């Protein structure tokens, strides 16, 4: 039932004692970096001694802008000769964010991933197909080392090339696969094009989905299409990558591994902590990273701590699914809109495919919200009257939810451009 029972079922008092020990060590390492070396609050906390994990609130936040300003070496706390890998964002609009790992960090990360997969029911007897990009993006290699640590037969398939993915699944009897949610709809369409049904023509029993926020409706749709259980995973490169938090077989929240991370939920406006059960912004601190500890990182992800124990017996607290990002919200015609609100509506409609895009444009001096919606092939090539009704129906549903009347464009399946890695849900083309 457990990968590391001694850690996964620690009582809260012992878990906090371990966190304090590891936080002290992390801060001692962090001040070796030029960024945290300039932070007097860390020195004061170390001098006084950490007696409660809540004292972490005496330290300043770290943001993506901090990582970019101190690019490339400002957060490195180890000698360069000891660093064995880096991961990086694309950096298409300026300096990328870069994260460094030494051998200890990679071993710790692999162990967290193995623990996560084991909690979701994956075992060494499984054949695991990793349908995710390898390279600077953490999803590929992050899963790869965890799969190997667990002892599965791994298929490092990488992203894309759906016919090849299907052939690999069928040739080698894939039982578990990992992919981003926005890709799985496309993969299912290719199954149908090849006159195959993943529920009957593969041995899949589990999917792991993550890397981009998605609704519960989207998850359930994926489960229905593939006839599997789909488990949510959460990670971010600043903490490691995947393996930060994961659903267990109970599927009632994502256990965040508190022996490796301190988790806080704050009000993104006041920056004050919010009670368990209340949605706020997730803030995280690494506890077991040596090359590049990160202190109180503002993730911008919106979630909440789920109160109460989990029936699985693990004592590490659970995060609710990510409901969006504070920096994903856009304002149009005076209304605050989150892309997840739109997705929650679209994924309930059987006529709608698995991809959509929101385009914000200025039309005749008015800002407008255009929603491109992929429609399933049978519907798109059917009765135009039915398409017109669907368009009006979606318009009314979204207007009632976000209080803004959108312009709906129904498009053919596969016509919305696909991005490398996470799906791009909002394209802001408004005049500034």
The CATH class for the domain spanning 330-429 reads alpha beta
- The answer, yes or no, to whether residue 114 has pLDDT greater than 80, is yes
pLDDT 10s digits, 61-92:
999 999 999 999 999 999 999 999 999 976 54
Where in the chain are the domains?
Answer: 1-327, 330-429
State how far the Cα of 134 lies from the Cα of 170, in Å rounded to an integer: 22
Q: 369 and 358 in contact (C-beta within 8 Å)?
A: yes
Residue 420 has pLDDT above 60, yes or no: no
* Radius of gyration of the chain from its Cα atoms, rounded to whole angstroms: 22
Round to whole Å and give the CA distance between 159 and 176: 15
The yes-or-no verdict on residue 307 having pLDDT over 60 is: yes
**DSSP per residue over 346-413, as a string?**
HTT-TTEEEEEEEEEEEETTEEEEEEEEEE-HHHHTS-HHHHHHHHHHHHHHHHHHHSSPPEEEEE-T
Q: Is the pLDDT of residue 335 over 70?
A: yes
Cβ-Cβ contacts under 8 Å for 122 (sequence gap 6 or more): 128, 150, 152, 176, 206, 208
Q: Which long-range contacts (CB under 8 A, 24 or more apart) does 150-153 make?
A: 150/3, 150/113, 150/114, 150/117, 150/118, 150/122, 150/123, 150/124, 151/124, 152/117, 152/122, 152/123, 152/124, 152/125, 152/126, 152/127, 152/128, 152/176, 153/126, 153/127, 153/128
Confidence band of 400 (pLDDT split at 50, 70, 90): confident
pLDDT band of residue 168 (cuts 50, 70, 90) is very high
The arithmetic mean of pLDDT across residues 50-58, rounded, is 97
User: pLDDT class for 343, splitting at 50, 70, 90?
Assistant: confident
Contact 220, 198 (CB under 8 A): no
270 versus 416: the higher-pLDDT residue is: 270
Contacts for 301 with CB less than 8 Å, ≥ 6 apart: 213, 234, 236, 281, 282, 322, 324, 325, 326
Compute the distance between CA of residue 297 and CA of residue 105 in angstroms, rounded to an integer.
18
Greater pLDDT, 368 or 431: 368
Domain 1-327: give its CATH superfamily: ANL, N-terminal domain (3.40.50.12780)
User: Considering the chain, what is the average pLDDT of its residues?
Assistant: 92
- Asked whether the beta carbons of 189 and 400 are under 8 A apart, the reply is no
């Amino acid at each position: 039932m457990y990968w590391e029972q001694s850690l996964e079922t620690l009582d809260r008092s012992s878990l906090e004692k371990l966190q304090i020990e590891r936080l002290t060590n992390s801060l001692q390492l962090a001040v070796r970096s030029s960024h945290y070396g300039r932070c007097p609050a860390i020195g004061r906390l170390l001098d006084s001694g950490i007696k409660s994990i809540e004292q972490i609130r005496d330290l300043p936040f770290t943001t993506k802008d901090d990582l970019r300003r101190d690019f490339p070496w400002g957060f490195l706390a180890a000698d360069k000769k000891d660093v064995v890998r880096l991961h990086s964002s694309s950096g298409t609009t300026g300096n990328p964010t870069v994260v460094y790992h030494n051998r200890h960090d990679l071993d710790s990360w692999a162990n967290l991933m193995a623990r996560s997969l084991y909690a979701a029911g994956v075992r060494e007897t499984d054949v695991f197909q990793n349908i995710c990009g390898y390279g600077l993006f953490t999803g590929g290699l992050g899963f790869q080392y965890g799969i190997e640590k667990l002892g599965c037969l791994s298929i490092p398939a990488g992203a894309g090339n759906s016919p090849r993915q299907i052939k690999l699944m069928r040739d080698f009897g894939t039982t578990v696969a990992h992919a981003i949610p926005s890709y799985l709809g496309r993969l299912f369409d290719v199954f149908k094009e090849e006159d195959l049904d993943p529920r009957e023509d593969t041995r899949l029993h589990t999917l792991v989905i993550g890397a981009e926020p998605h609704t519960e409706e989207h998850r359930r749709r994926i489960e229905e299409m593939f006839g599997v259980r789909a488990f949510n995973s959460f990670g971010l490169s600043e903490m490691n990558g995947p393996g930060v938090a994961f659903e267990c077989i109970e599927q009632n929240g994502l256990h965040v591994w508190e022996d490796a991370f301190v988790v806080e939920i704050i009000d993104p406006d006041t920056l004050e902590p919010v009670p368990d059960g209340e949605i706020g912004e997730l803030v995280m601190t690494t506890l077991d990273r040596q090359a590049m500890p990160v202190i109180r990182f503002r993730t911008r992800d919106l979630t909440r701590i789920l109160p109460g124990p989990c029936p699985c017996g693990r004592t590490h607290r659970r995060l609710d699914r990510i409901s969006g990002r504070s920096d994903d919200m856009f304002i149009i015609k005076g209304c605050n809109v989150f892309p997840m609100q739109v997705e929650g509506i679209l994924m309930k409609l059987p006529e709608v495919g698995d991809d959509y895009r929101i385009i914000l444009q200025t039309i005749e001096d008015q800002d407008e919200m255009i929603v491109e919606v992929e429609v399933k092939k049978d519907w798109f090539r059917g009765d135009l009257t039915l398409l017109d009704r669907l368009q009006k129906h979606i318009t009314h549903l979204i207007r009632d939810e976000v209080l803004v009347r959108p312009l709906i464009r129904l498009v053919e399946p596969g016509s919305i451009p696909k991005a490398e890695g996470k799906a791009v849900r909002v394209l802001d083309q408004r005049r500034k």
